Structure 1
Amino acid sequence: MTLLEDKRALRSVMLAWRAALPEAERRTAAEGLLARFRHERLVETPAVVSGFWPIGEEIDIRPLLMELSGQGCQLALPVVQGKGQRLLFRAWRPGDPLEAGVFGTLHPSAKREAIEPEVLLVPLLACDEEGWRLGYGGGFYDRTLAALRAKSTVTAIGVGFDAQLVAEVPHGPQDQRLDWLLTDRRACAFV
């Protein structure tokens, strides 16, 4: 199989697994994610941190975003600018209204300032023990991380359910590794 076929196959398996996860387990995982974050202290605060508004069956990181805001972090949410482009990040505070974006995303209004994060909380479908991440296939985070890392040091923290840590994620030369994985049961750094 080709790299794209390998990714497509793993993506299909992980989407099906996540869709079958009961709501009670989702809530428990969101609570576990926040508890693990509090225990591990992965972000030196205050910092500029981009999160994401969960879509579909993604783990709910909104409690974590509230925690970061309470610790004095400047938050941002990503905006998809178009196919083949990197993400733009707009400032966001809890309670700010959100607008509909592409792929079912929600993002801050265009009136909010664009900012560059120091820490990115990155959604994922799968991650392996070397920090390779599988996303939805658009390459938005890979392009964004490459551009940000070319200018300064940023920390990419993959965020998901613990079962999304798999033995191997197929990856190619355009893929960017994560620095950390944060789940409801663990936090692990990739060297």
Structure 2
Amino acid sequence: MQDKIDTTQTFSLTPELACWRKAERERLIAERLAIPADTRNAMAQRIAAGLNACIGSFAGHTISLYWPFRGEPDLRPWMNAVIAGGGQVALPVVVEKAHPLVFRPYRPGDPLEKGVWNIPVPASGQPVVPDVVIAPLVGFDPQNYRLGYGGGFFDRTLASLPGKPLVIGVGYATQAIPTIYAQPHDIPMDRIVTDQSAS
């Protein structure tokens, strides 16, 4: 079990590492956005199939997804499969900078409002604790460490949850990098699912 960390702390990196991660994010996001939309949709379908294999039955489970942003795999069609299989979908919501996310239940058609970066989030609903957290990747390394957007939200959130969910990072195989130079606050994903494989 990961040691608990102060979920309100400011995560600090050396200037050199912060600069490197920023450059890697920009490069990887640009590459992701350059993939044609039809190709990304086909890749997302393969990722959804990989998630089915990783998770198995959805019945009785709360699965946190995300609203796609800047070329991330669009798993919104897969939400319907989760719900049809007896699962509950939740979306992450930023409530305050440098604090853990909360997860609100969501079903297609529920009212949404603009959250951070104008990403739609459920407009209401009591927070729930997910059994499975699906985390979009900007990059990932062979040790299943995730390079995100730099806000530290997922690391704070995973450290703050009362139980250990199954944490699955999702992205494209082209987002693999040799290392993210993991720091003490970085929490590895349990699994990584891409359009080409699951690890």
Same fold (TM > 0.5): yes
- Structure 1 residue 43, shift from structure 2 partner: 4.6
Q: Take 2:140 and 2:18, find their aligned partners in 1: how far apart are those partners? A: 16
- Structure 1 residue 104, shift from structure 2 partner: 2.2
1:129 aligns to what? 142
Matched, 1:24 2:38: yes
5+ residue gaps in structure 1? none
Q: Take 2:66 and 2:38, find their aligned partners in 1: how far apart are those partners? A: 21
- Structure 1 residue 75, shift from structure 2 partner: 1.0
1:12 aligns to what? 26
Q: Take 1:36 and 1:172, find their aligned partners in 2: how far apart are those partners? A: 28
Structure 1 runs (4+) deviating above 3 angstroms are none
2:67 aligns to what? 53
1:72 aligns to what? 86
TM-score, length of structure 1 as denominator length: 0.90
Identity fraction in percent: 37
Q: Take 1:106 and 1:169, find their aligned partners in 2: how far apart are those partners? A: 28
Matched, 1:100 2:111: no
> Is contact 1:7-1:170 (8 Å) kept?
no
5+ residue gaps in structure 2? 1-14
Q: Take 2:156 and 2:46, find their aligned partners in 1: how far apart are those partners? A: 30
Q: Secondary structure at the match of 1:2?
A: helix
- Structure 1 residue 133, shift from structure 2 partner: 0.3
- Structure 1 residue 44, shift from structure 2 partner: 4.2
- Structure 1 residue 132, shift from structure 2 partner: 0.5
1:143 aligns to what? 156
- Number of corresponding residues: 184
Q: Which amino acid aligns with 1:166?
A: I
Q: Take 1:61 and 1:170, find their aligned partners in 2: how far apart are those partners? A: 28
TM-score, length of structure 2 as denominator length: 0.87
- Structure 1 residue 3, shift from structure 2 partner: 2.0
- Structure 1 residue 95, shift from structure 2 partner: 2.2
Q: Take 1:54 and 1:41, find their aligned partners in 2: how far apart are those partners? A: 21
Matched, 1:116 2:129: yes
Q: Which amino acid aligns with 2:164?
A: T
> Is contact 2:63-2:131 (8 Å) kept?
yes
Residues 82-123 of structure 1, C-alpha deviations (whole Å, 9 max, x = no match) = 11011011011122121111112111112x121011110001
Q: Take 1:43 and 1:145, find their aligned partners in 2: how far apart are those partners? A: 22
